[in-house]
Structures are given as C-alpha cells and as structure tokens.
Structure 1
Amino acid sequence: MNERPKIVKLPEEPYEEAIRRFARDGAHIPGDDASTPWVPFGDSAAIKHLCFDVRTNSVANILWVKGGGRIGTHKHRGVVSAITLEGSWGYYEYDWTARPGDFVYELPGSAHTLYSDDPNGMKALFWINGPIEFFDDDAKFTFTADVFWFIDHYTNYCRENDLKINEQMFI
C-alpha cells in the first residue's frame, strides 16, 4: 500500500518571480548526428559538441578517438570531468585505463596525453571548465582551446559543410 505522498507547496522566495520572468529554461540538446555532427579533431579523433557556456568558459562534448589514435599533450587550467561511454582510453602519464562507466576527474594544472589502443577506439563524455593548452611532441605550445575555440571549431565546420548551426547548444 504505497500511497503517493502529499505534494508540499513551499513558500515562494522573493527571487523566484524574477527567475520565472527572466531566466532561461533548462535545455534539451539532441545528440543525434544530424543535429550535432561529429567534427574532425586531428587525424584520429572527432568531437560531438553538446553545449557552450561563455559565462563560465565551459563546454560539454563527446570525444571519439579511433583505435590507435591519440590527442596531443595538453594542460588543463580548470576542472574536467569525463565518463567513458564506449571502448577504453588512458593517458600515457598514468597507470589506469578508463572503460565504459568509469568516471575520470582532472584538476587544474594536470598535463597528459590521451590515447586509445582499443581496436574500436573510445568515446567519452567530457565536461570541460576553463582553457586547455596544447603542446606538440617537442613540448612547444601550439594553441589554447577554450569555449571560444570550441565554438569556432563547431560553427566553422557547420558553415564549411552547409549545416545548420544548432543554437540550442549555446546555454
């Protein structure tokens, strides 16, 4: 006899009317390939951009690295969280391997080189806060990827391929 509990109406806080009037609603951002295409990232990877938040310099995306591929050495200037969706991956600098369902948490200042030697590659959902500095194989700085870089990466690809820009991704 599980009765549904009574719904309790809480007193309204003074700011809640302003939120109702002015705040943007939460978003549902489709992740299908037509709405959110895979954008090439180097020779062996692609990014499915999911959202861009210029207010906090943060982005969400799915990174796909094909088997045997890697992402160049990079240093984070903010916190990054990831959950592995498919395949396996790791960083050459650490002794763990992330597999489906594994959660990875990276702190500002961490530097590493992502790889996947899984024959099927890997896909992981990343929430990236702050910029990422990339370096070449000689440890020379090459570029910074921040929210604006990710926006350019996505919008330029859409323009070059005559694809509609999904404005829902700009939160």
Structure 2
Amino acid sequence: MTDTRTNEEKVAELMALMPKVPPAKFVKVADIPWTSFPGYEHCAMFKILRIDPETLGHTLIFRYRTGIGAHRHLSSVEILSLGPGKWWYEGEGSAGPGDYTYEYAGAVHVAVTENDDWGESLIISKGPLQMINEDGTPGMVIDAMSYYVAAKANNAVAHLPADPFSVG
C-alpha cells in the first residue's frame, strides 16, 4: 500500500511522538552590553550568551588582550577565534580569525595577543577556570555564576532566563 500522506503530515506525525522542547533561542548579541571580567578589567570583557543549568557550562563572547595571566581550565573549552588579530599560548600554538581551538581540562597557560591588540572569541566552556596567582598558588575560580553575577550587575542578562541555574 502506498503512503499518500504529504511530507508535512509525516513530519507532524513524527513531531507528535517527540518530547516537547522549548523553541530555539535567538539572541541579538549586539544588544548585550560588554561586562568587565572580574579583577581583569584592563584586559578582558565578555557577553554571556547561555548558561547550562545542568553542567554550569557557559557560552560567551570574550574580548581580551595580553594581561589575563596564567589560568587552569577545570573543564574542557572550545574556542572559535573571531578576530581581529592573532593570539597564542606560549609553546602551544596560535589562532587567528576563523580558527578553532580545543583546550583540555587541566590545561594551564597564559594567553598573549598580537601587538597587545584586543581579540574576540566565541567560547563554549564546559565548566570553570581557575586563575593562577603570580606566586604560582591557586587563585580565584571563575564559573558560570561568577560571569552571571558580574553581567547582572551590568544589566547584561535580559536575554537569559529569569533563573538560568534552574533545571526544568
């Protein structure tokens, strides 16, 4: 027997079997104000785009230049360099506009930017990072809550759910 249903009818039937999920979330990134990175106002700013309430991972646009200092990733990180210019980790490689970088949990490094220029990257972090003090001791831990608190104080969270840490 030939199935006489239209593609639209077939899709509707399949969709009825699928669990209900919220619609896609569209964010006007240009409308989000830049927020200074706590303690590193001279060399880092961000726009937080999303917080995963289950893992506390987060997605941000990060604007940076030389000066952030040593840090340790406590979870893996994915970076898409947006530009302009180049940045690198001493002894690890470099990235420019359009380049992708994957950083493993536990990685420790210092970011350097070309000519001390500002760069921007899309960062998808699976969790927090920890700054390393100049004397080599562990410094502050920066996580999704840290970014959220700073962004909220800067009126830069209107695009996020009222409680971005609530699951369900």
Question: TM tier, shorter chain?
Answer: 0.7 to 0.9
- Given the alignment of the two structures, is residue 125 of structure 1 paired with residue 122 of structure 2, yes or no? yes
Match of 2:27 in 1: 29
| AA in 1 matched with 2:35 | V
Match of 2:148 in 1: 151
TM-score (norm 2): 0.79
Deviating more after overlay: 70-79 vs 103-112? 70-79
Match of 1:12 in 2: 14
CA separation of 1:89 and 1:52: change in aligned 2, threshold 3 A: same
CA separation of 1:48 and 1:15: change in aligned 2, threshold 3 A: same
What do residues 75-111 of structure 1 show as CA deviations (whole Å, max 9, x unaligned)?
11211000110121111242x1101111000111111
2:154 is paired with a residue whose SS is helix
* Counterpart mapping for 1:1-171 below 5 A: 7=7, 9=10, 12=14, 16=18, 18-19=19-20, 23-32=21-30, 35-41=31-37, 42=40, 43-66=42-65, 69-86=66-83, 87-94=85-92, 96-158=93-155, 165-168=157-160, 170=164
Quote the Cα distance in structure 2 between the aligned partners of 1:108 and 1:72: 17
Tell me if the contact between 2:127 and 2:143 (Cα under 8 Å) persists in the aligned partners.
Answer: yes
| AA in 1 matched with 2:88 | G
What do residues 10-32 of structure 1 show as CA deviations (whole Å, max 9, x unaligned)?
5537752x41xxx3222001101
Quote the Cα distance in structure 2 between the aligned partners of 1:126 and 1:47: 10
Q: How well do the aligned residues superpose, as a CA RMSD in angstroms?
A: 2.3
What do residues 48-67 of structure 1 show as CA deviations (whole Å, max 9, x unaligned)?
2211222221111111114x
Task: Give the total of aligned pairs.
Answer: 152
Quote the Cα distance in structure 2 between the aligned partners of 1:168 and 1:149: 15
Quote the Cα distance in structure 2 between the aligned partners of 1:104 and 1:27: 25
CA separation of 1:141 and 1:15: change in aligned 2, threshold 3 A: farther
